[in-house]
Structure 1
Amino acid sequence: MLRYLLFDLDGTLLPMDMDKFLGAYLRLLAPRLSDYLAPERFVKELLISTEAMIVNNNPAKTNEEVFMDDFFGRTGLPKEELLPIFEDFYRRDFPSLVHATRPSATAALILKKAITKGYEVVIATNPIFPKLAVEERLRWVGVADFPFRLVTTYEEMHFCKPNPNYYREIIEKLGCTETACLMVGNDVEEDLVAGKTGMRTYLVEDCVINRKGCAYRADFQGSLEDLLAFVDSLPKVT
């Protein structure tokens, strides 16, 4: 029986054009580090270190540790000077990026309905961002104060999507079986891979991403409005 509902954030609960959002993010962040690296060089180095997180399969290192070791190890930049700049950016500048998204009131209704019915709700966003950035995006959705069972951030997780170990780590943290989980997302490669662990999957089609044009199978699919009706149709957890 389903008991845990896992929701992707970007493009799922928070409708957006991911390329547009990431472009706006990088254009806003890069100038903050211009005293240390030219913006073009900074973006290049940031993306290399982000990829290092994504391909990492070492359970002994958090995603944050992988990123920090790679970024500061390769660039030789002073970590103690840059970390306060990053934190200040996420507190002061990052909130303005809401303009690059299209928040939908439907998302909050879906989560409220799921929680009211007794389901444990997980925000299963790809943990390549720090907690500050994830919490801010949850505010845009209007659900920052919801009682989530788990929110995946790069400080705590050891794997990233589309690594199936990301989903296995969630299962371990929940202390449940994979068959008790439904993963809801918009990315064919990153979210539907949860099916390889035995989870059921729901593809949200409003901002669907299929970069490689892969054939895929989801147990359920539909729009965000369809997802609201789907959650409404689920039995209460007893």
Structure 2
Amino acid sequence: MKKFVCIDLDGTLLPMDNDYFIKMYLKELAAKMAPYGYDPQELIKTVWAGVYAMFENDGSQTNEELFWKLMNEHYGEARVKKDYRLFDEFYSEDFDAMKKYTDGCDPDAKVLIDGLKKSGCQIVLATSPVFPQVATYTRIRWAGLKPSDFDWITTYENVIHTKPNPLYYQDILEKFQTDGEDAIMVGNDVDEDMSAASLGMDVFLLTDHLINRHDKNIDAYPHGGFKDLMAYLEK
């Protein structure tokens, strides 16, 4: 069994249709900010621009710094500074209600993580780091898990790359002084999660909520449901 396990959250440990969740969550964020003069469609477009900027992060700043730099450029630093508390309030107080846009909790996720912990594995929650820590921790709890279940959790505050950039995975390996051949990445997104294989990491594609934007042949990767994953990890 691999002793260093990276695992995705959305659509992997937490059942959801990712596109639907993002669409509805951004709609709710826009509704929150509309009374304060933010045009909903413009805000959603700007947030997406910030996300795409994080995808292209050259490693010179954290994803958080890059995102808010773009927001400052679009809305003006003074306005963003004044209204930052409203964005923070959304994630710390309102975001928990977004659970209704997921598919609930899969008990197999907790069985998996508990089993990995008992076997002495180091576990990194390698979730796409475009959310603040508070929103990531909230989604972990939706999955029936705790932030303390993981040795590290990637969020937009603490990383300088994001999926599918292989440097995102390289940064994780370097942080834990681990070689790719000693690690595995588990996720449901063919492009974002399976890119870890380029570093020599083992991979497993969880197909319960598969994302395969380019209709790639998934037979190139070990794949299946939670039971298949558990059997694969025990090899």
Please give the TM-score of this superposition, normalised by the length of structure 2.
Answer: 0.94
Between the aligned partners of 1:207 and 1:169, the Cα distance in structure 2 is 26
Count residues with an aligned counterpart. 232
Q: What is residue 23 of structure 2 aligned with on the other side?
A: 23
Describe the SS at the equivalent of 1:113. Answer: helix
1:189 matched to 2:191? The reply is yes
Between the aligned partners of 2:80 and 2:8, the Cα distance in structure 1 is 31
Check the 8 A contact 1:183/1:191 in 2, yes or no.
yes
Q: What is residue 90 of structure 1 aligned with on the other side?
A: 91
Q: What is residue 37 of structure 1 aligned with on the other side?
A: 38
C-alpha distance after superposition, 1:205-234 (max 9, x if no partner) = 000001122345654211023223434x24
Amino acid at match of 1:3: K
Q: What is residue 49 of structure 1 aligned with on the other side?
A: 50
Describe the SS at the equivalent of 1:146. Answer: helix
Between the aligned partners of 1:26 and 1:150, the Cα distance in structure 2 is 26
Between the aligned partners of 2:147 and 2:29, the Cα distance in structure 1 is 27
Task: Indicate the larger mover: 93-102 or 210-219.
Answer: 210-219
Check the 8 A contact 1:159/1:165 in 2, yes or no.
yes
Among 140, 158, 161, the alignment partner of 1:159 is 161
Please give the TM-score of this superposition, normalised by the length of structure 1.
Answer: 0.93
Output the aligned Cα RMSD.
1.5
Q: What is residue 112 of structure 1 aligned with on the other side?
A: 114
Structure 2 residues not aligned, in runs of 5+: none
Between the aligned partners of 2:74 and 2:189, the Cα distance in structure 1 is 31
Counterparts of 1:139-158 in structure 2, within 5 Å, are 139-158=141-160
Describe the SS at the equivalent of 2:54. Answer: helix
Describe the SS at the equivalent of 2:117. Answer: helix
Q: What is residue 124 of structure 1 aligned with on the other side?
A: 126
Between the aligned partners of 1:68 and 1:138, the Cα distance in structure 2 is 24
Structure 1 residues not aligned, in runs of 5+: none
Between the aligned partners of 1:97 and 1:163, the Cα distance in structure 2 is 28
Amino acid at match of 1:54: F
1:68 matched to 2:68? The reply is yes
Between the aligned partners of 2:56 and 2:83, the Cα distance in structure 1 is 24
Q: Which has a greater percent of helix?
A: 2
- Compute the displacement of 1:3 (Å): 1.5
- Compute the displacement of 1:130 (Å): 0.5
**Percentage of identical aligned residues:** 35
Instruction: Provide closer, same or farther for how the CA distance between residues 216 and 55 of structure 1 changes in structure 2, counting only shifts above 3 A.
Output: farther
C-alpha distance after superposition, 1:43-71 (max 9, x if no partner) = 011111110111122x2200001101112
Check the 8 A contact 1:200/1:219 in 2, yes or no.
no
Counterparts of 1:202-221 in structure 2, within 5 Å, are 202-216=204-218, 218-221=220-223
